[in-house]
Amino acid sequence: MKLSFRWYGEEDPVKIEYIKQIPSMDSIVTAIYDVPVGEVWSMESINKVKETVEKAGLNFDVIESVPVHEDIKLGFSSRDKYIENYKQNIINLGKAGVKVICYNFMPVFDWTRSQLDKKLEDGSTALVYYKDQINKMDPLKGELSLPGWDSSYTKEDLKDLFDKYSKIDEEDLWTNLEYFLKEIIPVAEASNVKMAIHPDDPPWSIFGLPRIITTEENLDRFLKLVDSEYNGLTLCTGSLGSGSFNNIVRMVDKYSAQGRIHFMHVRNIKLLDDGSFEESAHYSSCGSLNIVEIMKALHKNKFNGYLRPDHGRMIWGETGKPGYGLYDRALGAMYIAGIWETLDNVNKE
């Protein structure tokens, strides 16, 4: 396992030298954030970030994310132009030594929560998804700004996108994803860059938009679209685990045994009776997921990919990007590393 940490570049309140101080930390997970979706990342921009990361004594191995343009997801004729740009990004990142690219195929919205700063019993704050709050929201009114919602969309842009997506269903989205994969995976193979799709978060339809990377059955279908080791998964325990219908330990065991997990996002969530959830500390007893069993499944299958502690609470008075503070994610990293070290030592006896 290679322990990694998400960093949002020079503007991130978390200093990269602090990340280096976390024991066992191997890699920085980052991206180029000032290029519009669908455009090519220059080698100059990529190498500048690479230099910053390596100067801090960390590896520049994982990119999260290279966003997929909506025209590709919608299957428009203009998609070929954006797919060619995507291929060039894979080539450029491969030249820079990147090993894994995380991406998603979620229409319009990325991960979605109803609150950024829900105060928990211990006084920390966390990201939460309360269904009663979501059901009262209307993104087309242009009055909301939540994590995972692209703030670059105007009210008119969103209305236009929703109208376009109203004309396609899940099967259309599958068809468009297959077209995309068949174009990019040969380039990824030639560039020695493994593609790792992130599941939909949460794993069900949001505001009537189709979502397909949601269940074990759908992950099986996805992996068969292009049966290549370069077509793999970012298995996010919190995203898939927020659906009680998903058996996360079984999925981690299955796909790590197949060698199709290239990147792990590990976080815990507390499932509520109505299907809502709250993000929690990584420690197993704090949430509904058994992090120890998840790590045991990875260890049993000799997982040697990248893993990062996912969203954390905001603790000890820390401010900044909700879910992406240093302190709780550092605690999560050490909890995960401690489990792994224990498993290593037990197996030596």
The catalytically annotated residue of 282, 286, 311, 328 is 311
Hey, which residues does 129 pair with through a beta bridge? 277
How many CA atoms lie less than 13 Å away from 258 in the CB half-sphere? Answer: 19
Helix, strand, coil percentages, rounded to 5, for the chain: 40, 20, 40
Catalytic site includes residue 86: no
* 115-119 and 100-103 strand pairing: unpaired
The catalytically annotated residue of 129, 165, 255, 324 is 324
The catalytically annotated residue of 61, 236, 299, 328 is 236
The catalytically annotated residue of 69, 262, 265, 299 is 265
The dihedral sign for the CA sequence 93, 99, 105, 111: negative
193: which residues sit within 8 A by CB, 6+ positions away? 90, 93, 94, 98, 99, 100, 101, 230
Q: Is the CB of residue 103 less than 8 Å from the CB of residue 66?
A: yes
Catalytic site includes residue 102: no
283/124 Cα distance (integer angstroms): 15
7/4 Cα distance (integer angstroms): 10
58-97 exposure pattern, b = at least 16 Cβ within 10 A, e = fewer: bbbbbbbebbbbbbbbbbeeebeebbebbbebbbbbbebe
The catalytically annotated residue of 198, 262, 282, 299 is 198
Q: Is the CB of residue 6 less than 8 Å from the CB of residue 312?
A: no
Catalytic site includes residue 324: yes
DSSP 205: -
Q: How far is CA 90 from CA 43, 104, 186, 210, 276, in A?
A: 11, 15, 11, 26, 36
The catalytically annotated residue of 200, 201, 310, 328 is 310
Residues noted as catalytic:
198, 236, 265, 310-311, 324
